[in-house]
Chains A and B, each alone.
Chain A
């Protein structure tokens, strides 16, 4: 049912799926009018979509290594673009990004530039060449290009550190959303999220993850765009917000000047629940130094090009040419959401701030705001807070507190949209977090099962045994991630940014130079990976424990230190040791030519 014919029928299958989902939204809207409770709507949205993903996961089950590791290398360009976009856009992009822009403005928008610009590096430096290589995993490329188990194992170490940091954040996000939508405690919701993630990936590996990710992209993009367009039209800001919010941006700047940014005293702030903040930075002004902006953007770009769960999506296309084009489609689908995030932040802010709008609360009396339904709900969930610090009875800009993640989740309610939209947004957030977690858990377990178990420990293992090991590892890694996520050590966004820095520290130059510098050899690559990762981690620990840092490099940009050490050590060690042998040089030459057989052959 899924083979051959399924690939030819993709537009029809996903067209029907999208239509079905829209019908489901309409049914929910009617049910809401008929008196269905907000809680039930939330439960329906999240459980219905998760069940669909699980069904796709089950239909895509497989017993072949080629299908399990690289979806049989037959995913068409545009669909691979959608799957990559879902793989890429995590809970952080969906739930946290608009909130970050809302609170921090320009300085934060470096992430938008970084998380898109990185794809230019992926397309031009790496993806087509790794596709030609024909590997199953990223360490597979490192291990074969440089030769030797040590290089392969070092790549697995970097991959695991970076991806594991990332995946705990995603499981955390699924838990947060599941706990709000299904109304269960976070510690339990984390495992509900994990179970959904495993259902999508365990039976069918990459093939199952691919087709669920496409389904998840469709849900998450509808869930993100619908409220943005709706609110914009509702407040008369323009029917196409992306091109029409200039007046609102100017109006926010005017209101900011009028209200002023009052700094709260430490004693006042101590009464605010943890993690909530007030608006303290201007919305559209340039509020960061060039270096602060550029260093963060550079880290995110290099990190993008080094994160294995993204790279491995381009192993699934039918050819080198389609891999290249697929990167373009990926970025196009990502662009649809990323260019909407600042618009959502703008609409959310104008809805709250503008006294001319019915939804505006700044300048209203505190008692009135505290009586609002939505305020009470979100206050109860510890995501919103108001307090009359100056005792004048009206709400000031510095007296309204919100959690970053609440901006996306609560804006539909604040702007007076029906609850069905909030349910849809919860389903979208769940889709975003699940699709990324799937890709990450699979990236780690594939590296461990293929590179460590099959290539290093037991090269004679049969296919059936390899796939059983892969699945056991998948479950173990999922549980480890959920256990750490339940501890809530670091916020969602912080962990995500760290993951990029780790990946960049250890993998960026060994990957790029593997294609672009023939002289690079195994000792150089090992030095680059291990010293890069070690120095980046050391810098992070140093800054976290109160170290002053240097060159204005913070705990969010430690990848600059790691990757520079990686680059220098890789070049120095490569040059003082013997050049790669003729066979390796020939291999690099072959990688650079798109036509002909893949380096590793079809089955391996």
Chain B
């Protein structure tokens, strides 16, 4: 497998992990909105589903993107595909 193919395979795997986490917090948990609302876990005292819709999921997305960007930069470095000055 060429260097480029390996790079793309790792990139694709990172995409799948990122999208899996994204799926859980944008779609997955809201399948159980009514059940979660009754949960005894209450972040900052808010009902659980209510908290996810107004803070939880949103904050997780912000962190997820920065985490994703960091991981992708590591993959690019590993294969020497990091941009250098004057690349554009």
Residues of A within 8 A of B (CB): 73, 106, 109-110, 112-114, 116-117, 119-121, 123-125, 128, 134, 242-247, 249-250, 284-286, 288, 290, 293-294, 297-298, 301, 318-321, 324-325, 327-328, 331-332, 335, 338-339, 341-343, 589, 592-598, 602
Contact = CB atoms under 8 A, between A and B. Distances in A.
B30 A293 contact: yes
Contacts of A324: 68-69, 72-73
B58 to A, nearest CB: 5
A595 B46 contact: no
Contacts of B1: none
Interface string B7-42: 110010011001100100111001111100100001
A112 B76 contact: no
B22 A120 contact: yes
Residue from B15, B30, B73 whose CB has the most chain A CB atoms within 10 Å = B30
Given A123-B69, A286-B34, A339 B61 contact: no
A430 B65 CA distance: 30
B88 A134 contact: yes
Contacts of B84: 595
Can you list the 5 inter-chain pairs with the closest CB atoms, starting with the nearest? A246-B45, A342-B54, A117-B26, A328-B65, A109-B53
A318 B88 CA distance: 8
B58 A339 contact: yes
Given A106-B33, A112-B54, A242-B55, A319 B26 contact: no
Contacts of A598: 88
A249 B47 contact: yes
Given A249-B47, A284-B47, A124 B68 contact: yes
Nearest to B47: A284
Contact of B76 (A250, A285, A301, A595): A595
Given A112-B53, A249-B47, A290-B30, A335 B83 contact: no
Given A321-B76, A328-B69, A331-B65, 15 more contacts: A119-B65, A123-B68, A123-B69, A124-B19, A124-B68, A290-B33, A297-B26, A297-B27, A319-B83, A321-B69, A339-B54, A339-B59, A593-B81, A595-B82, A597-B87
Contacts of A339: 54-55, 58-59
Given A290-B33, A593-B4, A120 B61 contact: yes
Contact of A113 (B14, B15, B50, B58): B58
A285 B68 CA distance: 33
Contact of B88 (A73, A113, A128): A73
Contacts of A343: 54
B22 to A, nearest CB: 4
B85 to A, nearest CB: 9
Q: How large is the interface on B (under 10, 10 to 19, 20 to 34, 35 or more residues)?
A: 35 or more
B57 A106 contact: no
A594 B4 contact: no
Contacts of A331: 61-62, 65
Nearest to A111: B53
B28 to A, nearest CB: 9
Given A339-B58, A597-B87, A297 B30 contact: yes
Nearest to B12: A516
A324 B58 CA distance: 18
A296 B19 CA distance: 18
B87 A319 contact: yes
A335 B27 CA distance: 18
Interface of B: 4, 7-8, 11, 14-15, 18-19, 22, 25-27, 30-34, 37, 42, 44-47, 49-50, 53-55, 57-59, 61-62, 64-66, 68-69, 72-73, 76, 80-84, 87-88
Contacts of A243: 44
B86 to A, nearest CB: 10
B8 A592 contact: yes
A594 B88 CA distance: 10
B11 A592 contact: yes
A515 to B, nearest CB: 10
Nearest to B46: A246
Contacts of A288: 33
29 contacts: A113-B57, A117-B26, A120-B19, A120-B65, A121-B22, A124-B14, A125-B15, A128-B72, A134-B88, A246-B44, A250-B45, A286-B37, A297-B30, A319-B83, A324-B73, A325-B66, A325-B69, A328-B62, A328-B66, A331-B61, A339-B59, A341-B54, A342-B53, A592-B7, A594-B82, A595-B76, A595-B82, A595-B83, A596-B87
B88 A319 contact: yes
A120 B69 CA distance: 11
Contacts of B49: 106, 286
B33 A293 contact: yes
A89 to B, nearest CB: 13
B26 A321 contact: no
A563 B22 CA distance: 20
Contacts of B62: 116, 328, 331-332, 335
Given A123-B68, A595-B76, A294 B27 contact: yes
A117 B61 contact: yes
A121 B23 CA distance: 11
A286 B45 CA distance: 16
B87 A247 contact: no
Nearest to A128: B72
Residue from A110, A320, A327 whose CB has the most chain B CB atoms within 10 Å = A320
A112 B58 contact: yes
A589 B8 CA distance: 9
Given A120-B22, A325-B66, A339-B54, A595 B34 contact: no
B31 A294 contact: yes
B30 A113 contact: yes
Contacts of A318: 88
A288 B50 CA distance: 12
B26 A301 contact: yes
Contacts of A342: 53-54
A321 B68 contact: no
A350 to B, nearest CB: 14
Contacts of A134: 88
A455 B64 CA distance: 38
Contacts of B18: 120, 124
B88 A249 contact: no
A319 B32 CA distance: 41
A285 B37 contact: yes
